[in-house]
Amino acid sequence: MKSYDFVILGAGSAGCVLANRLSANPNFNVCLIEAGSKDSDMRLHVPLGFAFLGEGSKYSWNYNTEPQKEFEKVTLTETASEVVDSAGGLHEVESQTEEHRRGYQPRGKTLGGSSSINAMLYVRGHKWDYDHWAELGNEGWSYDEVLPYFKKAEHNEVFDNDFHGQNGPLNVTKIRHKNKFVDDFVKTGASVFGYNEDFNGESQEGIGYYQTTQKDGKRCSAAKAYLVPILDRNNLTVLTDTNVNKILVEGNKATGVLCINEEGEEFSIQATKEVLLSSGAFGSPQILLRSGIGPSDEITKHGIEHKIDLPGVGKNLQDHIDYLSVHKHKSVNLIGFSLGTIFFKFPYEILKYFLTKTGLFTSTVAEAGGFIRSRNDIPVPDIQLHFAPGMIVDHGRQQLWGTGISCHTCLLRPKSRGEVTLNSPSPSDDPKIDPKFLSHPDDMKDMVEGYKKMMKIMNKPPLSKYTSKHVHRPIDLDDDKDIEQAIREEADTVYHPVGTCMMGQDKMAVVDERLKVHKMDGLRVVDASIMPTLVGGNTNAPTIMIGEKASDIILEDWS
Protein backbone atom coordinates (compact mmCIF):
# COMPACT_ATOMS: atom_id res chain seq x y z
CA MET A 1 0.00 0.00 0.00
CA LYS A 2 1.42 3.36 -1.04
CA SER A 3 1.49 6.01 1.65
CA TYR A 4 1.23 9.80 1.50
CA ASP A 5 0.85 12.54 4.09
CA PHE A 6 -2.20 14.03 2.37
CA VAL A 7 -4.54 12.30 -0.06
CA ILE A 8 -6.82 14.68 -1.96
CA LEU A 9 -9.97 13.20 -3.48
CA GLY A 10 -10.91 15.25 -6.54
CA ALA A 11 -8.85 17.52 -8.80
CA GLY A 12 -11.51 20.21 -9.17
CA SER A 13 -11.31 23.88 -8.26
CA ALA A 14 -10.53 23.27 -4.57
CA GLY A 15 -8.48 20.09 -5.04
CA CYS A 16 -6.03 21.74 -7.43
CA VAL A 17 -5.48 24.57 -4.94
CA LEU A 18 -4.81 22.09 -2.12
CA ALA A 19 -2.36 20.11 -4.26
CA ASN A 20 -0.41 23.27 -5.08
CA ARG A 21 -0.28 24.83 -1.64
CA LEU A 22 0.38 21.65 0.39
CA SER A 23 3.06 20.27 -1.94
CA ALA A 24 4.86 23.63 -1.73
CA ASN A 25 6.15 22.26 1.58
CA PRO A 26 8.85 19.74 0.52
CA ASN A 27 8.36 17.84 3.78
CA PHE A 28 4.85 16.72 2.73
CA ASN A 29 4.07 14.00 0.22
CA VAL A 30 0.77 14.69 -1.54
CA CYS A 31 -1.41 12.47 -3.72
CA LEU A 32 -4.17 13.99 -5.87
CA ILE A 33 -6.80 11.56 -7.20
CA GLU A 34 -9.13 12.39 -10.12
CA ALA A 35 -11.84 10.14 -11.55
CA GLY A 36 -11.67 11.82 -14.95
CA SER A 37 -8.99 11.84 -17.62
CA LYS A 38 -6.30 14.43 -18.23
CA ASP A 39 -7.45 17.77 -19.63
CA SER A 40 -5.73 17.26 -22.99
CA ASP A 41 -8.72 17.99 -25.25
CA MET A 42 -8.32 21.31 -27.11
CA ARG A 43 -11.98 22.13 -26.39
CA LEU A 44 -11.08 22.43 -22.70
CA HIS A 45 -8.60 25.22 -23.43
CA VAL A 46 -10.17 27.23 -26.25
CA PRO A 47 -12.70 29.33 -24.27
CA LEU A 48 -15.71 28.73 -26.53
CA GLY A 49 -14.78 25.06 -26.79
CA PHE A 50 -16.99 24.09 -23.85
CA ALA A 51 -20.03 24.86 -26.02
CA PHE A 52 -18.91 22.09 -28.41
CA LEU A 53 -18.29 19.32 -25.86
CA GLY A 54 -21.74 17.90 -26.58
CA GLU A 55 -24.13 15.83 -24.52
CA GLY A 56 -22.52 12.78 -22.96
CA SER A 57 -19.00 14.22 -22.98
CA LYS A 58 -16.44 12.12 -21.12
CA TYR A 59 -15.30 15.32 -19.41
CA SER A 60 -18.59 15.64 -17.52
CA TRP A 61 -20.53 13.43 -15.12
CA ASN A 62 -23.73 14.38 -16.98
CA TYR A 63 -26.03 13.73 -14.04
CA ASN A 64 -29.82 13.90 -14.18
CA THR A 65 -31.89 14.79 -11.13
CA GLU A 66 -34.88 13.01 -9.76
CA PRO A 67 -38.19 14.21 -11.29
CA GLN A 68 -38.84 17.68 -9.89
CA LYS A 69 -42.37 17.83 -8.49
CA GLU A 70 -42.69 21.56 -9.12
CA PHE A 71 -41.66 21.22 -12.75
CA GLU A 72 -44.18 20.54 -15.53
CA LYS A 73 -44.85 16.94 -16.48
CA VAL A 74 -43.37 15.58 -19.71
CA THR A 75 -44.25 12.56 -21.81
CA LEU A 76 -41.62 9.84 -22.05
CA THR A 77 -41.50 7.21 -24.77
CA GLU A 78 -40.34 3.89 -23.40
CA THR A 79 -38.10 1.47 -25.28
CA ALA A 80 -39.96 -0.55 -27.89
CA SER A 81 -41.11 -4.02 -26.79
CA GLU A 82 -42.44 -6.95 -28.79
CA VAL A 83 -45.95 -8.34 -28.50
CA VAL A 84 -47.47 -11.39 -30.21
CA ASP A 85 -50.76 -10.99 -32.08
CA SER A 86 -53.50 -13.62 -32.37
CA ALA A 87 -51.90 -15.04 -35.51
CA GLY A 88 -48.52 -15.46 -33.82
CA GLY A 89 -46.90 -12.43 -35.44
CA LEU A 90 -44.43 -10.20 -33.60
CA HIS A 91 -44.96 -6.43 -33.45
CA GLU A 92 -42.89 -3.68 -31.87
CA VAL A 93 -44.86 -1.27 -29.71
CA GLU A 94 -43.89 1.80 -27.78
CA SER A 95 -45.40 2.79 -24.46
CA GLN A 96 -45.63 6.30 -23.12
CA THR A 97 -45.54 7.47 -19.54
CA GLU A 98 -45.67 10.86 -17.86
CA GLU A 99 -43.37 12.13 -15.13
CA HIS A 100 -42.26 15.49 -13.85
CA ARG A 101 -39.37 16.95 -15.80
CA ARG A 102 -35.90 16.05 -14.59
CA GLY A 103 -33.09 18.57 -14.28
CA TYR A 104 -29.68 18.21 -15.90
CA GLN A 105 -26.49 18.51 -13.85
CA PRO A 106 -23.21 18.51 -15.80
CA ARG A 107 -20.16 18.47 -13.51
CA GLY A 108 -16.52 18.49 -14.52
CA LYS A 109 -14.76 15.11 -14.80
CA THR A 110 -11.19 16.00 -15.63
CA LEU A 111 -8.26 17.89 -14.14
CA GLY A 112 -9.70 21.22 -13.06
CA GLY A 113 -13.15 19.74 -12.49
CA SER A 114 -15.99 22.06 -13.39
CA SER A 115 -13.54 24.95 -13.88
CA SER A 116 -12.49 23.12 -17.07
CA ILE A 117 -15.99 23.04 -18.58
CA ASN A 118 -17.69 26.13 -17.12
CA ALA A 119 -18.33 29.55 -18.66
CA MET A 120 -15.24 30.99 -16.90
CA LEU A 121 -17.03 33.86 -15.15
CA TYR A 122 -15.13 35.29 -12.21
CA VAL A 123 -17.76 36.27 -9.64
CA ARG A 124 -17.28 36.13 -5.87
CA GLY A 125 -20.76 36.79 -4.52
CA HIS A 126 -21.90 39.56 -2.21
CA LYS A 127 -20.16 40.74 0.98
CA TRP A 128 -23.41 39.90 2.79
CA ASP A 129 -23.04 36.19 1.97
CA TYR A 130 -19.81 35.71 3.88
CA ASP A 131 -20.84 37.88 6.79
CA HIS A 132 -23.94 35.68 6.97
CA TRP A 133 -21.75 32.56 7.17
CA ALA A 134 -19.96 34.12 10.14
CA GLU A 135 -23.27 35.07 11.77
CA LEU A 136 -24.28 31.41 11.55
CA GLY A 137 -21.36 30.58 13.86
CA ASN A 138 -18.56 29.94 11.34
CA GLU A 139 -15.72 31.88 12.86
CA GLY A 140 -13.16 33.16 10.36
CA TRP A 141 -15.48 33.19 7.33
CA SER A 142 -16.71 36.80 7.27
CA TYR A 143 -16.13 38.88 4.15
CA ASP A 144 -13.17 40.76 5.63
CA GLU A 145 -11.60 37.42 6.59
CA VAL A 146 -12.07 35.69 3.22
CA LEU A 147 -11.20 38.68 1.03
CA PRO A 148 -7.43 38.13 1.51
CA TYR A 149 -7.85 34.62 0.08
CA PHE A 150 -9.73 35.86 -2.97
CA LYS A 151 -6.88 38.30 -3.51
CA LYS A 152 -4.21 35.67 -2.86
CA ALA A 153 -5.66 33.48 -5.60
CA GLU A 154 -6.06 36.24 -8.16
CA HIS A 155 -4.00 38.03 -10.74
CA ASN A 156 -6.38 40.62 -12.13
CA GLU A 157 -5.32 42.26 -15.40
CA VAL A 158 -8.05 44.93 -15.18
CA PHE A 159 -8.25 46.08 -11.55
CA ASP A 160 -5.47 46.69 -9.05
CA ASN A 161 -7.03 48.02 -5.87
CA ASP A 162 -8.09 47.03 -2.35
CA PHE A 163 -10.57 44.49 -3.71
CA HIS A 164 -8.27 42.66 -6.12
CA GLY A 165 -5.05 40.71 -6.08
CA GLN A 166 -1.94 40.69 -8.23
CA ASN A 167 0.50 37.84 -8.91
CA GLY A 168 -1.85 35.04 -7.83
CA PRO A 169 -2.10 31.82 -9.88
CA LEU A 170 -5.63 32.47 -11.20
CA ASN A 171 -5.59 34.92 -14.09
CA VAL A 172 -8.63 37.20 -14.30
CA THR A 173 -9.20 39.48 -17.25
CA LYS A 174 -11.83 40.91 -19.59
CA ILE A 175 -13.22 39.03 -22.57
CA ARG A 176 -11.22 39.46 -25.79
CA HIS A 177 -14.39 39.59 -27.89
CA LYS A 178 -16.27 42.73 -28.85
CA ASN A 179 -19.92 42.22 -29.71
CA LYS A 180 -22.45 44.94 -30.51
CA PHE A 181 -25.34 42.90 -29.09
CA VAL A 182 -23.57 42.55 -25.73
CA ASP A 183 -22.76 46.26 -25.74
CA ASP A 184 -26.41 47.06 -26.43
CA PHE A 185 -27.49 44.85 -23.52
CA VAL A 186 -25.15 46.67 -21.15
CA LYS A 187 -26.21 50.08 -22.48
CA THR A 188 -29.90 49.25 -22.14
CA GLY A 189 -29.59 47.48 -18.79
CA ALA A 190 -27.49 50.25 -17.31
CA SER A 191 -30.14 52.80 -18.30
CA VAL A 192 -32.64 50.83 -16.17
CA PHE A 193 -30.58 49.52 -13.25
CA GLY A 194 -27.32 51.48 -13.36
CA TYR A 195 -23.85 50.55 -14.63
CA ASN A 196 -21.32 48.54 -12.63
CA GLU A 197 -17.78 48.16 -13.95
CA ASP A 198 -16.74 45.59 -11.30
CA PHE A 199 -19.17 43.10 -9.74
CA ASN A 200 -16.37 42.04 -7.34
CA GLY A 201 -15.61 45.54 -6.12
CA GLU A 202 -17.17 47.84 -3.58
CA SER A 203 -20.71 47.29 -4.85
CA GLN A 204 -22.26 44.36 -6.70
CA GLU A 205 -25.53 45.87 -7.93
CA GLY A 206 -25.99 47.02 -11.52
CA ILE A 207 -25.36 45.91 -15.10
CA GLY A 208 -21.99 45.42 -16.75
CA TYR A 209 -19.46 43.06 -18.32
CA TYR A 210 -18.23 39.92 -16.61
CA GLN A 211 -14.61 39.26 -15.77
CA THR A 212 -13.30 35.91 -16.90
CA THR A 213 -10.73 33.31 -15.85
CA GLN A 214 -8.68 33.40 -19.04
CA LYS A 215 -5.06 34.10 -19.87
CA ASP A 216 -3.83 35.17 -23.30
CA GLY A 217 -7.12 34.12 -24.85
CA LYS A 218 -7.12 30.65 -23.29
CA ARG A 219 -9.14 29.17 -20.42
CA CYS A 220 -7.41 29.51 -17.06
CA SER A 221 -8.93 26.56 -15.20
CA ALA A 222 -7.89 25.63 -11.68
CA ALA A 223 -5.70 22.93 -13.25
CA LYS A 224 -4.01 25.42 -15.57
CA ALA A 225 -3.55 27.93 -12.74
CA TYR A 226 -2.54 25.69 -9.86
CA LEU A 227 -1.55 22.25 -11.17
CA VAL A 228 0.31 22.63 -14.45
CA PRO A 229 3.09 24.83 -12.98
CA ILE A 230 3.92 22.26 -10.26
CA LEU A 231 3.60 18.89 -11.99
CA ASP A 232 7.35 18.39 -11.77
CA ARG A 233 7.38 18.45 -7.95
CA ASN A 234 8.80 15.18 -6.66
CA ASN A 235 6.49 15.20 -3.64
CA LEU A 236 3.29 15.38 -5.73
CA THR A 237 1.60 12.37 -7.34
CA VAL A 238 -1.41 12.90 -9.63
CA LEU A 239 -3.61 9.91 -10.45
CA THR A 240 -6.20 10.31 -13.22
CA ASP A 241 -8.85 7.82 -14.39
CA THR A 242 -9.02 6.66 -10.76
CA ASN A 243 -12.35 6.31 -8.98
CA VAL A 244 -12.65 6.54 -5.21
CA ASN A 245 -14.81 3.79 -3.75
CA LYS A 246 -14.66 4.81 -0.10
CA ILE A 247 -12.62 6.34 2.68
CA LEU A 248 -10.98 3.79 4.97
CA VAL A 249 -12.00 4.38 8.58
CA GLU A 250 -10.53 2.85 11.72
CA GLY A 251 -12.53 3.79 14.81
CA ASN A 252 -13.20 7.47 14.18
CA LYS A 253 -10.06 8.14 12.12
CA ALA A 254 -9.71 8.28 8.33
CA THR A 255 -6.61 6.27 7.44
CA GLY A 256 -6.73 6.18 3.66
CA VAL A 257 -8.88 5.45 0.63
CA LEU A 258 -9.96 2.46 -1.43
CA CYS A 259 -9.63 3.25 -5.13
CA ILE A 260 -10.47 1.65 -8.47
CA ASN A 261 -8.15 2.08 -11.46
CA GLU A 262 -9.06 2.30 -15.15
CA GLU A 263 -8.99 -1.50 -15.47
CA GLY A 264 -11.47 -1.90 -12.61
CA GLU A 265 -8.88 -3.15 -10.11
CA GLU A 266 -9.13 -2.06 -6.47
CA PHE A 267 -6.16 -0.73 -4.55
CA SER A 268 -5.64 1.18 -1.31
CA ILE A 269 -3.70 4.32 -0.49
CA GLN A 270 -2.72 5.27 3.05
CA ALA A 271 -2.98 8.83 4.40
CA THR A 272 -0.65 9.34 7.35
CA LYS A 273 -1.94 12.81 8.13
CA GLU A 274 -5.30 13.56 6.44
CA VAL A 275 -7.73 12.60 3.73
CA LEU A 276 -9.03 15.77 2.03
CA LEU A 277 -12.38 15.26 0.32
CA SER A 278 -12.81 17.67 -2.62
CA SER A 279 -15.25 15.87 -4.88
CA GLY A 280 -17.94 18.55 -5.04
CA ALA A 281 -21.50 18.97 -3.83
CA PHE A 282 -22.54 15.66 -5.39
CA GLY A 283 -19.37 13.59 -5.13
CA SER A 284 -18.30 14.41 -1.57
CA PRO A 285 -21.51 13.29 0.18
CA GLN A 286 -21.66 10.25 -2.09
CA ILE A 287 -18.17 9.13 -0.99
CA LEU A 288 -18.95 9.82 2.67
CA LEU A 289 -22.13 7.73 2.51
CA ARG A 290 -20.33 4.83 0.79
CA SER A 291 -17.75 5.05 3.58
CA GLY A 292 -20.39 4.62 6.28
CA ILE A 293 -20.34 8.29 7.30
CA GLY A 294 -23.72 10.00 7.45
CA PRO A 295 -27.34 9.28 8.41
CA SER A 296 -27.72 5.62 9.35
CA ASP A 297 -30.93 5.03 7.36
CA GLU A 298 -29.33 6.23 4.12
CA ILE A 299 -26.34 3.93 4.64
CA THR A 300 -27.61 0.66 6.09
CA LYS A 301 -30.39 0.27 3.49
CA HIS A 302 -27.64 -0.27 0.91
CA GLY A 303 -25.90 -2.92 3.01
CA ILE A 304 -23.08 -0.57 4.03
CA GLU A 305 -21.71 -0.68 7.57
CA HIS A 306 -22.67 2.50 9.42
CA LYS A 307 -19.61 3.94 11.15
CA ILE A 308 -20.10 7.63 11.98
CA ASP A 309 -23.51 9.20 12.57
CA LEU A 310 -23.75 12.55 10.79
CA PRO A 311 -27.37 13.16 9.74
CA GLY A 312 -26.48 16.20 7.62
CA VAL A 313 -24.41 14.37 5.01
CA GLY A 314 -26.11 14.92 1.65
CA LYS A 315 -28.74 17.27 3.05
CA ASN A 316 -28.99 21.08 2.64
CA LEU A 317 -28.49 20.91 -1.15
CA GLN A 318 -28.94 24.38 -2.64
CA ASP A 319 -28.67 25.40 -6.26
CA HIS A 320 -29.38 28.42 -8.42
CA ILE A 321 -32.65 27.95 -10.32
CA ASP A 322 -32.57 29.80 -13.63
CA TYR A 323 -34.92 30.70 -16.47
CA LEU A 324 -33.81 31.69 -19.99
CA SER A 325 -35.59 34.10 -22.30
CA VAL A 326 -34.59 33.20 -25.87
CA HIS A 327 -35.04 35.43 -28.92
CA LYS A 328 -34.25 34.65 -32.54
CA HIS A 329 -32.46 37.36 -34.53
CA LYS A 330 -30.63 36.99 -37.82
CA SER A 331 -27.04 38.16 -37.68
CA VAL A 332 -23.75 36.59 -38.65
CA ASN A 333 -22.19 38.23 -35.56
CA LEU A 334 -24.23 36.11 -33.15
CA ILE A 335 -23.32 32.59 -31.98
CA GLY A 336 -25.37 29.94 -33.74
CA PHE A 337 -25.70 27.75 -36.78
CA SER A 338 -26.75 29.33 -40.06
CA LEU A 339 -25.35 29.33 -43.58
CA GLY A 340 -23.60 32.61 -42.86
CA THR A 341 -21.95 31.46 -39.63
CA ILE A 342 -20.96 28.01 -40.92
CA PHE A 343 -19.47 29.08 -44.25
CA PHE A 344 -18.23 32.60 -43.44
CA LYS A 345 -18.14 33.58 -39.78
CA PHE A 346 -16.75 30.41 -38.16
CA PRO A 347 -13.85 29.88 -40.63
CA TYR A 348 -12.87 33.54 -40.24
CA GLU A 349 -13.11 33.40 -36.44
CA ILE A 350 -11.17 30.13 -36.20
CA LEU A 351 -8.32 31.66 -38.19
CA LYS A 352 -8.51 34.83 -36.12
CA TYR A 353 -8.33 32.87 -32.89
CA PHE A 354 -5.32 30.79 -33.86
CA LEU A 355 -3.45 33.85 -35.15
CA THR A 356 -4.33 36.41 -32.47
CA LYS A 357 -6.20 34.59 -29.64
CA THR A 358 -9.03 37.11 -29.94
CA GLY A 359 -12.57 37.12 -31.30
CA LEU A 360 -15.58 34.87 -31.06
CA PHE A 361 -13.70 31.80 -29.80
CA THR A 362 -12.61 33.67 -26.65
CA SER A 363 -16.28 34.19 -25.76
CA THR A 364 -17.65 32.94 -22.46
CA VAL A 365 -21.10 32.88 -24.13
CA ALA A 366 -22.49 34.65 -21.04
CA GLU A 367 -20.48 37.80 -21.64
CA ALA A 368 -22.41 40.43 -19.71
CA GLY A 369 -25.07 40.53 -17.03
CA GLY A 370 -25.79 42.04 -13.70
CA PHE A 371 -27.25 41.89 -10.23
CA ILE A 372 -30.67 43.35 -9.48
CA ARG A 373 -33.36 43.14 -6.82
CA SER A 374 -36.67 41.46 -7.50
CA ARG A 375 -38.23 43.81 -4.92
CA ASN A 376 -37.13 47.14 -3.59
CA ASP A 377 -37.55 46.17 0.07
CA ILE A 378 -34.65 43.68 0.20
CA PRO A 379 -31.13 44.73 1.22
CA VAL A 380 -29.01 43.00 -1.47
CA PRO A 381 -29.52 41.85 -5.07
CA ASP A 382 -31.33 38.50 -5.27
CA ILE A 383 -31.40 38.10 -9.05
CA GLN A 384 -28.43 37.57 -11.37
CA LEU A 385 -28.62 38.12 -15.12
CA HIS A 386 -26.42 36.43 -17.72
CA PHE A 387 -26.70 37.75 -21.27
CA ALA A 388 -25.58 35.54 -24.16
CA PRO A 389 -25.24 36.48 -27.87
CA GLY A 390 -26.75 33.13 -28.86
CA MET A 391 -29.91 31.06 -28.43
CA ILE A 392 -29.61 28.56 -25.57
CA VAL A 393 -32.33 25.98 -24.98
CA ASP A 394 -32.11 22.98 -22.62
CA HIS A 395 -28.47 23.64 -21.67
CA GLY A 396 -27.55 23.87 -25.35
CA ARG A 397 -28.60 20.25 -25.90
CA GLN A 398 -31.42 21.34 -28.22
CA GLN A 399 -29.79 22.73 -31.33
CA LEU A 400 -31.73 25.55 -32.98
CA TRP A 401 -31.13 26.60 -36.57
CA GLY A 402 -30.30 30.26 -36.81
CA THR A 403 -28.91 32.90 -34.50
CA GLY A 404 -30.28 34.98 -31.66
CA ILE A 405 -29.81 36.15 -28.09
CA SER A 406 -30.67 34.84 -24.62
CA CYS A 407 -30.86 36.23 -21.12
CA HIS A 408 -30.88 34.26 -17.86
CA THR A 409 -32.90 35.16 -14.78
CA CYS A 410 -31.20 33.40 -11.86
CA LEU A 411 -32.52 33.32 -8.27
CA LEU A 412 -29.49 33.85 -6.04
CA ARG A 413 -30.69 32.75 -2.60
CA PRO A 414 -33.47 30.18 -3.04
CA LYS A 415 -35.21 28.91 0.07
CA SER A 416 -35.75 25.42 -1.36
CA ARG A 417 -33.51 22.70 0.05
CA GLY A 418 -32.77 19.35 -1.56
CA GLU A 419 -30.57 16.34 -0.93
CA VAL A 420 -28.04 13.94 -2.43
CA THR A 421 -28.27 10.25 -1.53
CA LEU A 422 -27.11 6.91 -2.91
CA ASN A 423 -28.81 4.89 -5.61
CA SER A 424 -26.70 1.87 -4.63
CA PRO A 425 -23.43 1.06 -2.84
CA SER A 426 -21.64 0.81 -6.21
CA PRO A 427 -19.11 3.57 -6.99
CA SER A 428 -20.02 3.25 -10.67
CA ASP A 429 -23.64 4.35 -10.06
CA ASP A 430 -24.68 7.99 -10.17
CA PRO A 431 -25.91 9.56 -6.94
CA LYS A 432 -29.60 10.29 -6.45
CA ILE A 433 -29.87 14.07 -6.80
CA ASP A 434 -33.04 15.85 -5.74
CA PRO A 435 -32.66 19.65 -5.57
CA LYS A 436 -36.39 20.03 -4.83
CA PHE A 437 -36.42 23.11 -7.02
CA LEU A 438 -39.24 25.61 -6.30
CA SER A 439 -40.46 23.53 -3.34
CA HIS A 440 -40.55 26.71 -1.25
CA PRO A 441 -43.34 28.95 -2.58
CA ASP A 442 -41.29 32.13 -2.15
CA ASP A 443 -38.87 30.94 -4.82
CA MET A 444 -41.49 31.01 -7.55
CA LYS A 445 -42.73 34.42 -6.46
CA ASP A 446 -39.20 35.82 -6.59
CA MET A 447 -38.50 34.18 -9.95
CA VAL A 448 -41.63 35.72 -11.47
CA GLU A 449 -40.72 39.19 -10.19
CA GLY A 450 -37.11 38.76 -11.31
CA TYR A 451 -38.20 37.74 -14.79
CA LYS A 452 -40.39 40.82 -15.13
CA LYS A 453 -37.47 43.02 -14.05
CA MET A 454 -35.19 41.35 -16.59
CA MET A 455 -37.72 41.88 -19.38
CA LYS A 456 -37.65 45.62 -18.68
CA ILE A 457 -34.20 45.46 -20.26
CA MET A 458 -35.11 43.10 -23.08
CA ASN A 459 -38.11 45.18 -24.16
CA LYS A 460 -36.37 48.57 -24.12
CA PRO A 461 -34.44 50.14 -27.02
CA PRO A 462 -31.86 49.59 -28.32
CA LEU A 463 -32.05 45.96 -27.20
CA SER A 464 -35.74 45.56 -28.08
CA LYS A 465 -35.01 45.67 -31.81
CA TYR A 466 -33.46 42.19 -31.39
CA THR A 467 -36.16 40.75 -29.15
CA SER A 468 -39.54 42.06 -30.29
CA LYS A 469 -40.06 39.99 -33.45
CA HIS A 470 -39.45 36.50 -32.09
CA VAL A 471 -39.56 34.89 -28.64
CA HIS A 472 -38.88 31.17 -28.36
CA ARG A 473 -41.51 30.82 -25.66
CA PRO A 474 -43.99 33.75 -25.81
CA ILE A 475 -45.10 34.95 -22.37
CA ASP A 476 -47.78 37.43 -21.33
CA LEU A 477 -45.91 39.81 -19.05
CA ASP A 478 -49.20 40.94 -17.50
CA ASP A 479 -50.09 37.40 -16.45
CA ASP A 480 -48.05 36.03 -13.54
CA LYS A 481 -49.61 32.60 -14.05
CA ASP A 482 -48.26 32.46 -17.61
CA ILE A 483 -44.79 33.43 -16.38
CA GLU A 484 -45.02 30.77 -13.68
CA GLN A 485 -46.06 28.16 -16.24
CA ALA A 486 -43.08 28.99 -18.46
CA ILE A 487 -40.74 28.64 -15.47
CA ARG A 488 -42.20 25.23 -14.63
CA GLU A 489 -41.76 24.17 -18.26
CA GLU A 490 -38.14 25.24 -18.79
CA ALA A 491 -36.30 26.51 -15.69
CA ASP A 492 -33.32 24.52 -14.42
CA THR A 493 -29.94 24.85 -12.74
CA VAL A 494 -27.28 27.31 -13.75
CA TYR A 495 -24.70 24.82 -12.37
CA HIS A 496 -24.03 26.01 -8.80
CA PRO A 497 -24.85 23.14 -6.38
CA VAL A 498 -23.53 23.62 -2.84
CA GLY A 499 -24.20 22.82 0.80
CA THR A 500 -24.32 19.03 1.09
CA CYS A 501 -21.50 18.85 3.66
CA MET A 502 -22.50 22.01 5.49
CA MET A 503 -20.07 23.92 7.68
CA GLY A 504 -21.47 24.72 11.12
CA GLN A 505 -22.03 23.59 14.68
CA ASP A 506 -25.62 22.33 14.76
CA LYS A 507 -26.74 18.71 14.43
CA MET A 508 -27.01 18.92 10.63
CA ALA A 509 -23.50 20.34 10.16
CA VAL A 510 -20.90 18.02 8.63
CA VAL A 511 -17.70 20.06 9.13
CA ASP A 512 -16.56 22.70 11.57
CA GLU A 513 -15.08 26.11 10.70
CA ARG A 514 -11.69 24.45 10.09
CA LEU A 515 -13.45 22.08 7.68
CA LYS A 516 -12.78 19.03 9.85
CA VAL A 517 -15.52 16.42 9.67
CA HIS A 518 -17.37 16.34 13.00
CA LYS A 519 -16.75 13.29 15.22
CA MET A 520 -13.72 12.28 13.11
CA ASP A 521 -9.97 12.68 12.92
CA GLY A 522 -7.89 12.88 9.77
CA LEU A 523 -10.72 13.93 7.46
CA ARG A 524 -11.75 17.30 6.04
CA VAL A 525 -14.09 18.38 3.28
CA VAL A 526 -12.79 21.21 1.09
CA ASP A 527 -15.11 22.22 -1.75
CA ALA A 528 -18.44 23.96 -2.45
CA SER A 529 -20.33 21.36 -0.43
CA ILE A 530 -19.22 23.06 2.81
CA MET A 531 -21.06 26.30 2.03
CA PRO A 532 -23.83 26.69 4.63
CA THR A 533 -25.78 28.92 2.21
CA LEU A 534 -25.48 29.78 -1.45
CA VAL A 535 -23.49 32.85 -2.39
CA GLY A 536 -25.03 35.54 -4.55
CA GLY A 537 -23.13 34.72 -7.73
CA ASN A 538 -21.20 32.05 -9.61
CA THR A 539 -19.49 29.51 -7.36
CA ASN A 540 -16.11 28.79 -8.98
CA ALA A 541 -14.22 31.75 -7.49
CA PRO A 542 -15.64 31.09 -3.99
CA THR A 543 -14.63 27.42 -4.25
CA ILE A 544 -11.06 28.40 -5.14
CA MET A 545 -11.12 30.79 -2.16
CA ILE A 546 -12.22 27.89 0.06
CA GLY A 547 -9.27 25.87 -1.22
CA GLU A 548 -6.87 28.73 -0.44
CA LYS A 549 -8.21 29.28 3.07
CA ALA A 550 -8.29 25.55 3.82
CA SER A 551 -4.67 25.20 2.69
CA ASP A 552 -3.55 27.81 5.21
CA ILE A 553 -5.61 26.15 7.96
CA ILE A 554 -4.10 22.71 7.21
CA LEU A 555 -0.54 24.03 7.00
CA GLU A 556 -1.08 25.84 10.29
CA ASP A 557 -2.39 22.67 11.96
CA TRP A 558 0.61 20.63 10.80
CA SER A 559 3.34 23.25 11.26
Q: Which residues are catalytic?
A: 496
> Which conformational region is residue 25 in: left (phi greater than 0), alpha (psi within -120 to 50 degrees), or beta?
beta
Q: Using DSSP, state whether 295 is helix, strand or coil.
A: coil
Question: What is d(CA 554, CA 511) in angstroms, rounded to the nearest whole number?
Answer: 14
Is there a contact between 338 and 332 (Cβ–Cβ < 8 Å)? Answer: yes
Is there a contact between 427 and 149 (Cβ–Cβ < 8 Å)? Answer: no
Give the residues across from 410 on adjacent strands.
322, 384
State the greatest distance between any 2 C-alpha atoms of the chain, in Å, as a whole number.
83
In sequence order, the 6+-apart residues with CB closer than 8 A to the CB of 426 are none
Look at residues 313, 333, 58, 112 and name the one whose alpha carbon lies nearest to residue 227.
112
Tell me the backbone φ, ψ of residue 116, rounded to 5 degrees. -95, -10
| One-letter amino acid of 288 | L
Terminal C-alpha separation, the chain: 26
Give the residues across from 237 on adjacent strands.
31
User: How many angstroms separate the Cα of 183 from the Cα of each of 167, 376, 402?
Assistant: 30, 26, 21
Task: State the DSSP code for 386.
Answer: E
**DSSP count for the chain of H helices, then E strands:** 13, 28
Question: What is d(CA 133, CA 319) in angstroms, rounded to the nearest whole number?
Answer: 17
Look at residues 323, 407, 418 and name the one whose alpha carbon lies nearest to residue 366.
407
